[in-house]
């Protein structure tokens, strides 16, 4: 019998949804609360690599997920002028019949995950979060932000970078820190020849093109923003174009098409890593709540998805809740720390304009690590 028979998942993003799905597959009752009343996500894309496809298969989602995504094999690194430096083949970790990587719009991914959560019978409440937690040896008493209450065998905080659950466990010990960079994103029609992840090394940051579907791709560019500036909405397109100066084609050709301020997604890059066990008693944090990092290696969501699978396996294994959560930490801590530190390193080398930095070797090392079983 599962020690945790009823679980509260706080947060309806990628990590929280995958946790709810994984637990329901194990026949554990799940309540999920999400602070947003309008359960939507912003409309750019996300890169997901072979380890994510492998875990999507284990979640029973691979076919629906691939139907909503664009499959590709390789990652290529180019100079700012468009000269190819290296092309790195992906790894087909989900099986030889499946692709190595995908690009998928966040909206499409959210649709697959949220619909599956509902189909599997998780109880979802929107516009709601946790106000307070009180634990005893047998469970957790939860007071929600609408003053309602619930009792659970376990609480999972998957509530992101500014996690309320993390603050309830650790106080203000772990606060997100600005890394000195921001990322800008914009959608474009996809030309037929853009059939891989293409990244371009510029003087001020890196840009990239990511295929999302047969007719859609997105561009991203990182920029050094030491003062963490607030960007006025009516200036976003012009400011993104400014950060793309110095790139040749194809980035330069696309740059002038960035004209719609409302379509620019601008995000200062912040990070946090909880450098001790991510749980206290019967409350655990996962994903960005525990180890938010930058997108330089494209593994932030992947680590959250892996967290979800490993947690579900730990909670249906042998031992007490304490022993199960210790086992979860053993399987997750070093792997997530490697991704966090490596992603931050890539950003730091961009800020320093370190032209000797071997990004390709770091990407290869990341692929080696994430190919390993969890």
In this predicted structure, what is the pLDDT of residue 166?
98
Find, among 288, 285, 257, 254, the residue nearest to 271 by Cα.
288
User: 202 pLDDT band (50/70/90 cuts)?
Assistant: confident
pTM reported for the whole predicted model: 0.95
Three-state secondary-structure class, residue 241: helix
Q: Kindly tell me if the per-residue pLDDT of 148 is higher than 80.
A: yes
Residue 2: pLDDT band (50, 70, 90) is low
User: Which tokens is 83 given?
Assistant: 């000269």
The conformational region for residue 129 under phi > 0 = left, psi -120 to 50 = alpha, else beta, is beta
Q: What is the pLDDT, as a whole number, of residue 29? A: 98
Q: What is the pLDDT of residues 290-321, one digit of tens each?
A: 999 999 999 999 999 999 999 999 999 999 99
Of the candidates 354, 337, 351, the one whose C-alpha atom is nearest the C-alpha of residue 273 is 337
| 34: β partners | 126
Which tens digit of pLDDT belongs to each residue from 84-125?
999 999 999 999 999 999 999 999 999 999 999 999 999 999
- If you average pLDDT over residues 275-303, what whole number do you get? 97
* Three-class SS state of 30: strand
Q: Say how far apart CA 29 and CA 152 lie, in whole Å.
A: 10
Question: What does the pLDDT look like over 11-69, one tens digit per residue?
Answer: 999 999 999 999 999 999 999 999 999 888 876 899 999 999 999 999 999 999 999 99
What sign does the dihedral 335-337-342-343 (CA atoms) show?
A: positive
C-alpha closest to that of 257 among 274, 244, 271, 276: 244
């Amino acid at each position: 019998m599962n020690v945790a028979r009823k679980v509260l998942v706080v947060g309806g993003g990628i990590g929280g949804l995958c946790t709810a799905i994984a637990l329901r597959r194990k026949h554990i009752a799940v309540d999920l609360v999400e602070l947003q009343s309008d359960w939507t996500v912003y409309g750019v894309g996300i890169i997901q690599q072979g380890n994510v496809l492998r875990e999507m298969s284990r979640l029973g989602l691979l076919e629906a997920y691939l139907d909503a995504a664009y499959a590709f094999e390789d990652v290529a690194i180019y100079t700012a002028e468009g000269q190819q430096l290296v092309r790195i083949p992906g790894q087909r970790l989900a099986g030889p019949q499946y692709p190595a990587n995908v690009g998928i719009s966040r909206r499409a991914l959210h649709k697959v995950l949220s619909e599956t959560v509902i189909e599997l019978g998780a109880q979802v409440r929107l516009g709601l979060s946790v106000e307070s937690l009180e634990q005893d040896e047998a469970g957790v008493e939860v007071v929600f932000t609408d003053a309602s209450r619930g009792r659970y065998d376990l609480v999972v905080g998957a509530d992101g970078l500014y996690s309320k659950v993390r603050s309830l466990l650790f106080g203000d010990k772990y606060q997100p820190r600005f890394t000195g960079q921001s990322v800008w994103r914009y959608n474009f029609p996809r030309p037929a020849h853009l059939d891989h992840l293409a990244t371009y090394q510029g003087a001020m940051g890196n840009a990239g093109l990511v295929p999302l579907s047969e007719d859609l791709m997105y561009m991203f560019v990182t920029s050094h923003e030491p003062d963490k500036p607030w960007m006025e909405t009516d200036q976003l397109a012009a400011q993104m174009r400014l950060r793309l100066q110095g790139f040749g084609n194809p980035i330069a050709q696309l740059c002038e098409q960035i004209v719609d301020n409302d379509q620019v997604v601008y995000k200062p890059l912040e990070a946090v890593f909880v450098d001790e066990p991510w749980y206290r008693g019967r409350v655990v944090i996962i994903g960005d709540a525990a180890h938010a990092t930058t997108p330089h290696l494209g593994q932030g969501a992947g680590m959250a998805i892996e967290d979800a699978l490993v947690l579900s396996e730990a909670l249906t294994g042998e031992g007490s809740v304490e022993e199960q959560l210790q086992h979860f930490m053993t399987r997750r801590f070093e792997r997530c720390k490697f991704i966090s530190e490596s992603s931050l390193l890539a950003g730091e080398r961009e800020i320093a304009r370190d032209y000797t930095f071997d990004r390709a070797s770091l990407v290869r090392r990341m692929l080696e690590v994430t190919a390993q079983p969890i």
